[in-house]
Amino acid sequence: MKDAFGLPQSLLVLGGTSGIALATARRLIARRTRTVWLAGRPSPALESAAAELRTLGADVHTVAFDALDPGSHETVLGKVFAEGDVDTVLLAFGVLGDQAHDERDPAAAVRVAQTNYTGAVSAGLVAARALQTQGHGSLVVLSSVAGERARRSNFIYGSSKAGLDAFAQGLGDALHGTGVHVMVVRPGFVRTKMTAGLPEAPLATTPEAVATAVELGLRRRSETVWVPGVLRVVMSALRHAPRGLFRRLPV
Amino acid sequence: MPAETTTAITAETVSVTGWGRTAPSVARLVRPRTYAEAVSAVRECGPRGGIPRGLGRAYGDAAQNAGGAVIDLTGLDRIHVIDAGDGSVLCDAGVSLHRLMEVLLPLGWFVPVTPGTRYVTVGGAIGADVHGKNHHVSGSFTRHVLSFELLTADGTIRTVEQGTDLFDATAGGLGLTGVVLTARIRLQPVGTSLMSVDTERAADLDDLLARLTAGDQRYRYSVAWIDLLARGAATGRAVLTRGEHAPLDALPARARRTPLVFRPPRLPAVPAFLPSGLLTRTTVGLFNELWYRGAPRARTGELQSLAAFFHPLDGVPHWNRVYGRDGFVQYQFVVGHGREETLRRIVRRVSARRCPSFLAVLKRFGDADPGWLSFPRPGWTLALDIPAGLPGLGAFLDELDEEVAGAGGRVYLAKDSRLRPDLLTAMYPRLDDFRALRAELDPRGVFMSDLARRLNLQESP
């Protein structure tokens, strides 16, 4: 059960090896979280993430979960919710893809879209229904500023996040009044293993900063969180930039 | 009891919070109007159980039940029998203390214990085992409850007498043993509806503790309002108000004609959508300063109305909205006699942190009460309100918990919305008995609340 400050006692991470998700889990464990479910494709990385969180004192379980297999989501997540209330679900899986390569390999591009968008639609709906039955809980969806306006340099990833973002906003409105809170988190460039080796964008941030913003958002029951906050203004300007100008911008 | 019927009970799905307006959760609100409806409400709670609720004055999540049923008892509000000779009343659990005062005062009787608000139900007063300014003399509310009828998880109604295990588990049991339907309460005789109040100022915390220790036994009612924003030498400065029910001959001639009149004034309600952040260090500090300076250094025998003495905040409906949408947390703890050093340290820490907390309340408790989860125990209790949006507040209160638990003290569960569950056993030694009784009485966990889930009150860890 969450406390007066919106801090969860149990956390389900979809995408259990995500750097942002693990930073968030570490932060929440330091406060109140005792039970953590890390859902992801079985891998040594998933197990070592679980082991690391266990050293912080949490009771950590791993769950085999594949975003690309929506048919299994109901069963896999159903088992987690059957074990007890989940106060916060962090939907954190996603792939960046390789824009240049994916443009020439439509099958690879579709995998990005299926992971980031359709996989999230499926998992998001399954989690939302379970939370609604509980009558409480937060669904935190990791979107991206890349979804705010698609850019030449990563529009495959960007379009998938745009779809996810719109989905999560709509889901939040659909769940208004049910006790379930949906929070869309839009980080800018975050230094994680997903972005390793990429040229850093302006206003780059860290997983820890995103985790801090998530904790604050949970307390305030925010619906949209930008990290860093100034991106809200920056992206608002970029969103309204004319196409001809936007194309030429070095973003 | 009327025979069981199959009348449909009105139920609606609503978002529920406590008085502190934090951590809302959605539940089916059921409002039974008869005992039979209450029985079917309990039988039809569903897989996530149900929890009784009165007037919603518990600050935290004690009367919330996410995804389940919240059974609103305010529809059961009849006063059955008043014994004006002997001084006892038999009434439904949904009757408020306000209503009891309206009915009983003209007869020369008063409720035995009243908390800082009279807008609590009898059922709520039992479930939280509330205390008042007379705790050092009279103990908590349930000490004056002779017996009650309890609707338990199996749908049966039991008469529970004082002194039994089920009574002691239900006293302060936060509605988790069942739904109290009616209660028989012993009353306090009064000659008038006015209070004779002595007020004095204490310059700092040590002065305050000394005055409370020395003088409390001379008064039935005693409390200190403490300014937690004062720093330095003034840390813990306070205004003590202590009093008695005024005897008839203390009243001026005019008032003597209607000595038992009870007409508490009500101001307009606080508007619903005030922004958070009105209560800052500056505004609260100013308020506390004016209020301390405005209090008399020493005054005796002042006549005050019951409402002004016991329930000053009840005059402002929805005063909890002042904290805006972020809501607030009330932190109340008790530490034993001889643990004054812990109390001093906590007061210093709150004061050093400059929490915008207005009018914290310090009181000296008397003997412990028999309820297994009853809060009072002999010693010092401090209650403070803090805006929930204050940065770092959660971690700060966790540190205070450590101090309190380390000194063998406890925090008040009916006010709690954020305690770490693992400290609970140390604070409430009878917790295992409570869990065991629940496991036997309610094996399926029909009675369930957000607080019970958060603090894991339902099972052995």
What mean pLDDT comes out for the span A43-62?
98
- List the one residue out of B335, B428, B336, B337 whose CA is nearest residue B374: B428
* pLDDT-based confidence at residue A194 (cuts at 50, 70, 90): confident
Q: Has residue A2 been placed in a domain?
A: no
What mean pLDDT comes out for the span A101-126?
98
Window 1-60 of A: residues touching B by CB (8 A cutoff) are: 1-7, 9, 31-32
Query: Under a CB-based contact definition with an 8 Å cutoff, are residues B145 and B219 in contact?
Result: no
Residue B255 pLDDT > 70: yes
> Which of B325, B450, B458 is the best residue to mutate to test the A interface, defined by the most A CB atoms within 10 Å of its own CB?
B450
- HEC-encoded secondary structure of chain B: CCCCCCCCCCEEEEEECCCCCCCCEEEEEECCCCHHHHHHHHHCCCCCCEEEECCCCCCCCCCCCCCCEEEEHHHCCCEEEEECCCCEEEEECCCEHHHHHHHHHHHCEECCCCCCCCCCEHHHHHHCCCCCCCHHHHCCHHHHEEEEEEECCCCCEEEEECCCHHHHHHCCCCCCCCEEEEEEEECEECCCCEEEEEEEEECCHHHHHHHHHHHHHHCCEEEEEECCCCCHHHCCCEEEEEEEECCHHHCCHHHHCCCCCCCCCCCCCCCCCCCCCCCCHHHHHHHHHHHHHHCCCEEEEEEEEHHHHHCHHHHCCCHHHHHCCCCEEEEEEEECCCCHHHHHHHHHHHHHHCCCCCCEEEEEECCCCCCCCCCCCCEEEEEEEEECCCCCHHHHHHHHHHHHHHCCCEECHHHCCCCCHHHHHHHCCCHHHHHHHHHHHCCCCCECCHHHHHHCCCCCC
Domain count, chain A: 1
Give the residue numbers spanning the domain of A125.
10-248
What mean pLDDT comes out for the span A136-155?
95
Give the pLDDT score at B280: 87
The mean of the pLDDT values for chain B is 94
Residue B8 pLDDT > 80: no
Is A4 in Cβ contact with B67 (below 8 Å)?
Answer: no
Q: Which residue of A has its CA nearest to B24?
A: A179
Give the pLDDT score at A197: 86
Q: Which residue of B has its CA nearest to A222?
A: B326
The mean of the pLDDT values for chain A is 96
- Model confidence over B86-110: pLDDT tens digits? 999 999 999 999 999 999 999 999 9
Is A136 in Cβ contact with B450 (below 8 Å)?
Answer: yes
Q: Pairing mode, if any, of strands A35-40 and A10-14?
A: parallel
Is A135 in Cβ contact with B27 (below 8 Å)?
Answer: yes
Partners of A136 on chain B (C-beta within 8 Å) are: 25-26, 66-67, 450
Give the pLDDT score at B272: 87
Nearest CA of chain A to the CA of B239: how many Å? 30
Residue B2 pLDDT > 70: no
Catalytic (active site) residue A157: yes
Q: Has residue A93 been placed in a domain?
A: yes
Q: Which residue of A has its CA nearest to B327?
A: A4
Give the pLDDT score at B273: 84
Provide the whole-model pTM.
Answer: 0.94
Residue B20 pLDDT > 50: yes
- Model confidence over A195-250: pLDDT tens digits? 988 888 889 999 999 999 999 999 999 999 999 999 999 999 999 999 999 999 88
Partners of A219 on chain B (C-beta within 8 Å) are: 388-389
Q: Which residue of A has its CA nearest to B453?
A: A1
Partners of A29 on chain B (C-beta within 8 Å) are: none
Give the pLDDT score at B5: 45
Give the pLDDT score at B461: 46
Nearest CA of chain B to the CA of A178: how many Å? 6
Is A1 in Cβ contact with B27 (below 8 Å)?
Answer: no
Give the pLDDT score at B357: 86
What mean pLDDT comes out for the span B241-245?
97
Nearest CA of chain B to the CA of A47: how many Å? 26
- Model confidence over B367-411: pLDDT tens digits? 999 999 999 999 999 999 999 999 999 999 999 999 999 999 999
CATH, residue A130: 3.40.50.720
Q: Has residue A5 been placed in a domain?
A: no
Is A177 in Cβ contact with B68 (below 8 Å)?
Answer: no
- Model confidence over B412-439: pLDDT tens digits? 999 999 999 999 999 999 999 999 999 9
Marked catalytic residue, from A81, A93, A117, A157:
A157
What mean pLDDT comes out for the span A14-21?
97
Spatial CB neighbours of B59, under 8 Å, sequence gap ≥ 6 = B18, B19, B20, B328, B329, B330, B414, B415, B416, B417
Q: Has residue A1 been placed in a domain?
A: no
Torsion sign across C-alpha atoms A132, A136, A137, A143: positive
Q: Has residue A117 been placed in a domain?
A: yes
- HEC-encoded secondary structure of chain A: CCCCCCCCCEEEEECCCCHHHHHHHHHHHHHCCCEEEEEECCCHHHHHHHHHHHHCCCEEEEEECCCCCHHHHHHHHHHHHHCCCCCEEEECCCCCCCHHHHHHCHHHHHHHHHHHHHHHHHHHHHHHHHHHHHCCEEEEEECCHHHCCCCHHHHHHHHHHHHHHHHHHHHHHHCCCCCEEEEEEEECCECCHHHCCCCCCCCCECHHHHHHHHHHHHHHCCCEEEECCCHHHHHHHHHCCCHHHHHHCCC
Residues of B with CB under 8 A from a CB of A: 15, 20, 22-27, 48, 60-61, 65-68, 326-327, 329, 388-389, 393-395, 417-418, 420-421, 450-451, 453-454
Residue A124 pLDDT > 70: yes
> Which of A5, A29, A138 is the best residue to mutate to test the B interface, defined by the most B CB atoms within 10 Å of its own CB?
A5
Instruction: Give Dmax (Cα) for chain A.
Output: 53
Partners of B65 on chain A (C-beta within 8 Å) are: 135
Is A7 in Cβ contact with B453 (below 8 Å)?
Answer: no
What mean pLDDT comes out for the span A156-184?
97
Q: Which residue of B has its CA nearest to A133?
A: B67
* pLDDT-based confidence at residue B358 (cuts at 50, 70, 90): confident
Is A3 in Cβ contact with B395 (below 8 Å)?
Answer: no
**Residue A224 one-letter amino acid:** T
What mean pLDDT comes out for the span A116-127?
98
- Residues of chain B with pLDDT > 90, as a percent, come to 89
Partners of B25 on chain A (C-beta within 8 Å) are: 135-136, 179
Q: Has residue A185 been placed in a domain?
A: yes
What mean pLDDT comes out for the span A36-49?
98
CA distance A7 to A216: 9
> Which of B17, B22, B328, B451 is the best residue to mutate to test the A interface, defined by the most A CB atoms within 10 Å of its own CB?
B22
Q: How many CB pairs under 8 A join A and B?
A: 69
Nearest CA of chain A to the CA of B29: how many Å? 13
Q: Which residue of A has its CA nearest to B17?
A: A4
- CATH numbers and ranges of domains, chain B: 75-190 (3.30.465.10), 194-418 (3.40.462)
Give the pLDDT score at B9: 65
Give the pLDDT score at B3: 44
